[in-house]
C-alpha cells in the first residue's frame, strides 16, 4: 500500500502547487505577487518530489530538480514578505533563496565531513528562516485589513511555516544523530508527504477562492460605493479623521484594537472602513502615511536642519530608527537623510535665486 500511496500523495501535492501557480500567473494580480507565488509553488513541488525515494528514483534522480528544490525555504520567506508585508521583490528579497541554492549545490558536490556540516547549517538556517516567516505572518495578523488574507494567515500559512521549520529542525537532528524517530518527521516519509498534500490543497483552494482579496485592494470606486451605504460609516470616518488629526498616530503603541477602543467601535468595523473606504491593506501603512508625511515636512524645514533624523523618527511615533527608515523608503523611495539633503538643497537654490 505504502509504495503506491506515497507517490500518489506527492502527485496530489505537485498538482495542487501547479494549478495554484498557473492560476496566479494568468491572473491580473500585481507582478511581484505573481512572481513570488509561482516561484515558491514550483520550488515546493520540486522539493516534495526529490524528498520521495520512489518519485526521485522514477525520475532518474534528475539533477535540475534539486536546484529548484534547494531554495524552497528562502522562496517561502520571500513570498511571505511580498504578500503579507507588501514588500517589492528585490535582490535583497531573493538573497536567502540564492544562498540556499548555493549551499545545496555545495552540499551535493562535497564529501563528508564537509557535506555533513553544510547540511546541518542548511537545515538549521531553513528552520530559522521559516520560523521568522511564521512570526511575520503572526505579527501582522491583527493589523491586516484584508479579511481573506487574515484568514489565510491564521488557517494555512502559519501552519505551513511551523511545518517547514519542523522539517528543517528534524533534518538537522537527523544529520547530527541519525535515527528513525527524526527521519519519521521528515517530508520524505509517508506522513510528511500527506501533510504537504493537505497543505497544498488547502492553499490552492483558498488562493483560487479569494486571490484578488488576498493580493490586492478592492477597486477604489467599488470600495467607495460600499463604504457609503451606511450613514454610520460616514460618522465613524469623521471620528477617525478627527482622531488622526488630533495626533493619535503619534502614539508609538497604536494598534487597530486601541484605536477602535478610542473610537468606541467594533474592531472589525474599523478594519473594514479603513480597507474599503480609504484603500489601505494593513493598519501599519495607514498609520505610516500620517507619520511619514509629518516627518517629510520636518525634514524639509530649514529650521529643523539641526534636528537629528532619529529625534524626528521618535517624535512621529516610531520606537526605533530601523522601522522608520523602512517605512520612509517604502513611501518615498529614498532614505530620510537623502530626502532631507535634496529638500534642503532645493530650498537653498530657491533662496539664492530670490
Per-residue pLDDT, averaged over 17-39, amounts to 86
Q: What pLDDT sits at residue 354? A: 63
Domains of the chain: 2-215 (1.20.1070.10), 219-281 (no CATH), 282-354 (1.10.10.60)
Of 117, 125, 107, the residue nearest 175 (C-alpha):
117
Q: Which has more pLDDT, 350 or 163?
A: 350
Per-residue pLDDT, averaged over 102-125, amounts to 87
Q: What pLDDT sits at residue 170? A: 66
The answer to whether the Cα torsion of 252, 256, 258, 264 is positive or negative is positive
Residue 144 pairs in a beta bridge with 282
Kindly report the average pLDDT of the chain as a whole number.
81
d(CA 111, CA 225) in angstroms, rounded, equals 64
**In this predicted model, what pLDDT tens digit does every residue of 245-298 receive, in sequence order?**
999 999 888 889 899 999 999 988 898 889 888 888 888 889 999 999 999 999
Q: Are 163 and 195 in contact (CB under 8 A)?
A: yes
3-state secondary structure of 196: helix
Query: Lowest mean pLDDT: which of 108-112, 131-135, 168-172, 201-205?
Result: 168-172
d(CA 338, CA 141) in angstroms, rounded, equals 33
Q: What pLDDT sits at residue 223? A: 47
Which residues, including other chains, have CB under 8 Å from residue 219's CB and lie 6 or more apart?
Answer: none
pLDDT at 213 over 80: no
pLDDT at 116 over 60: yes
Helix (H) or strand (E) segment spanning residue 223 = helix 220-227
Amino acid at each position: 500500500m505504502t509504495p503506491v500511496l506515497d507517490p500518489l500523495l506527492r502527485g496530489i501535492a505537485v498538482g495542487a502547487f501547479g494549478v495554484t501557480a498557473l492560476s496566479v500567473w494568468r491572473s491580473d494580480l500585481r507582478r511581484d505577487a505573481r512572481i513570488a507565488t509561482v516561484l515558491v509553488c514550483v520550488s515546493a513541488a520540486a522539493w516534495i518530489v526529490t524528498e520521495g525515494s520512489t518519485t526521485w528514483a522514477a525520475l532518474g534522480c534528475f539533477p535540475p530538480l534539486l536546484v529548484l528544490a534547494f531554495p524552497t525555504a528562502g522562496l517561502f520567506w520571500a513570498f511571505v514578505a511580498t504578500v503579507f508585508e507588501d514588500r517589492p521583490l528585490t535582490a535583497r528579497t531573493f538573497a536567502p533563496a540564492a544562498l540556499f541554492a548555493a549551499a545545496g549545490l555545495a552540499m551535493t558536490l562535497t564529501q563528508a565531513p564537509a557535506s555533513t556540516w553544510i547540511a546541518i547549517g542548511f537545515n538549521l538556517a531553513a528552520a530559522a528562516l521559516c520560523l521568522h516567516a511564521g512570526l511575520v505572518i503572526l505579527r501582522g495578523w491583527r493589523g491586516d485589513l484584508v479579511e481573506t488574507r487574515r484568514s489565510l494567515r491564521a488557517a494555512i500559512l502559519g501552519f505551513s511555516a511551523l511545518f517547514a521549520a519542523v522539517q528543517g529542525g528534524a533534518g538537522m537532528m537527523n544529520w547530527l544523530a541519525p535515527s528513525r524517530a527524526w527521519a519519521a518527521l521528515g517530508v520524505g516519509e509517508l506522513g510528511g508527504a500527506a501533510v504537504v498534500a493537505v497543505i497544498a490543497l488547502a492553499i490552492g483552494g483558498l488562493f483560487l477562492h479569494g486571490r484578488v482579496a488576498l493580493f490586492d485592494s478592492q477597486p477604489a470606486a467599488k470600495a467607495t460605493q460600499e463604504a457609503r451605504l451606511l450613514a454610520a460609516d460616514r460618522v465613524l470616518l469623521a471620528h477617525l479623521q478627527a482622531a488622526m488629526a488630533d495626533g493619535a498616530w503619534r502614539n508609538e503603541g497604536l494598534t487597530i484594537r486601541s484605536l477602535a477602543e478610542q473610537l468606541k467601535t467594533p474592531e472589525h468595523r474599523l478594519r473594514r472602513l479603513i480597507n474599503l473606504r480609504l484603500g489601505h491593506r494593513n493598519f501599519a501603512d495607514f498609520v505610516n502615511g500620517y507619520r511619514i508625511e509629518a516627518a517629510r515636512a520636518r525634514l524639509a524645514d530649514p529650521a529643523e536642519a539641526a534636528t537629528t533624523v532619529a529625534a524626528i523618527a521618535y517624535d512621529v511615533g516610531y520606537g526605533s530608527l530601523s522601522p522608520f527608515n523602512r517605512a520612509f523608503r517604502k513611501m518615498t523611495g529614498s532614505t530620510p537623510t537623502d530626502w532631507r539633503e535634496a529638500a534642503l538643497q532645493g530650498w537653498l537654490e530657491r533662496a539664492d535665486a530670490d
